[in-house]
Amino acid sequence: MKAKNILAGFALVGAIALTTAGCAGGGNTAGGGGGDDKVITVGFAQTGSESGWRSANTESMKEAFSEANGFNLIFNAADNKPEAQIAAVRSFINQGVDAIVLAPIVTDGWDDVLKEAKDANIPVILEDRTVSAPEDLYASWVGLDFKKEGETAGKWVADNFGKTPTNLVVLEGTTGSSAATDRAAGFDEAIKGTDIKVLDSQTGNFTRAEGKTVMEGFLQKYGSTINVLFAHNDDMGLGALDAIKAAGLKPGTDIKIVTIDAVKDGMTALADGEFNYIVECNPLLGDKVAEVVKKVVAGESVDKSYIVEDQAFDQEQAKAALPDRKY
């Protein structure tokens, strides 16, 4: 931990700073080795635990930021409340961590706290989603090409249904998140000029429960006129399955379903014929983020962004891929 920031912590929150100072020590080393291998204290501000993707991402991060790998990880999950996530980042600054990793719930609203981190000389590394704040306020970003994910999903829908009049509904991810905004933009571009009509598009906040509730509303309003559902993640699609079955319709047949993530439950629904197509969003970002954090803390140069490649699966490909799926 940084001594300067620990002092700042004393001024701001005496009690917390006392605890922090107690473990700062200055002589901590990874794996009990010599002075070169200082333990790196990292505050990780996770979004919450909204989906299967998120669980896999948290696990990957915890594995990569382990004590054995030379880290002291302080983990916070903000229950998808942006103000709670900003407070977590501020607390990491006050604790004088060596680096902050942030999976931002929403894109906007980060300028002030990122500036505070910069003023305290604490590098911030973004993982998963992006922010609208100026690039000089964070060191690097490790994530996915959400726009391309949306485009790939939209292209599949356009290729399969674009030439006949088709009614589509959308379950969007968390409003204001880069994952939802960019997926929507990519999808809309891909279906432009086709015979596909978007009947409705509402947020299900990336959760199964809200995906089910919003789909129930769509079914009450549009009934069996819905031909295709595009869900911004597997979990909302899985919630929608229950609503579709309860309405007496057959998911994957009466209503075709396209989702994003490719977590095991989603891939199982695809292999079972209840989903029709999934675009992957790889949650296993931990090792790359840890590598970037180590370099940044050591003062080495890093790229401004690292994009992890995704693939896509139809029903047959899901059957083949499922046995080896890691998440």
Residues at the site binding ligand AHR, with contacts judged by CB under 6 A: 50-51, 53-54, 128-129, 179, 206, 233, 235, 260-261, 281
d(CA 43, CA 93): 9
Nearer to ligand AHR, 122 or 153 (CB): 153
**Residue 55: partners with Cβ closer than 8 Å, 6 or more residues away:** 49
C-alpha–C-alpha distance, residues 265 and 244, integer Å: 17
Residue 312 Cβ, how far from ligand AHR at the closest point, in Å?
A: 14
Q: How far is the CB of 276 from ligand AHR (least distance, A)?
A: 18
Give the integer Cα–Cα distance in Å for 277 and 259: 7
How far is CA 271 from each of CA 99, 180, 238, rounded to the nearest angstrom?
Answer: 41, 25, 13
Backbone angles phi, psi at 102, to 5 degrees: -130, 125
Least Å distance, CB 15 to ligand AHR, is 34
C-beta closer to ligand AHR: residue 39 or 133? 133
CB of 34 to ligand AHR, least distance (A): 39
- Decide whether 69 or 207 has the Cβ nearer to ligand AHR: 207
Handedness of CA 233, 238, 239, 244 (dihedral sign): positive
Say what angle helices 208-222 and 234-246 make with each other, to 10 degrees.
Answer: 40
Based on CB atoms, which residue is closest to ligand AHR, 57 or 94? 57
Q: Compute the least distance from the CB of residue 179 to ligand AHR, in Å.
A: 4
Using the minimum distance from each CB to ligand AHR, give the nearer residue, 38 or 129: 129
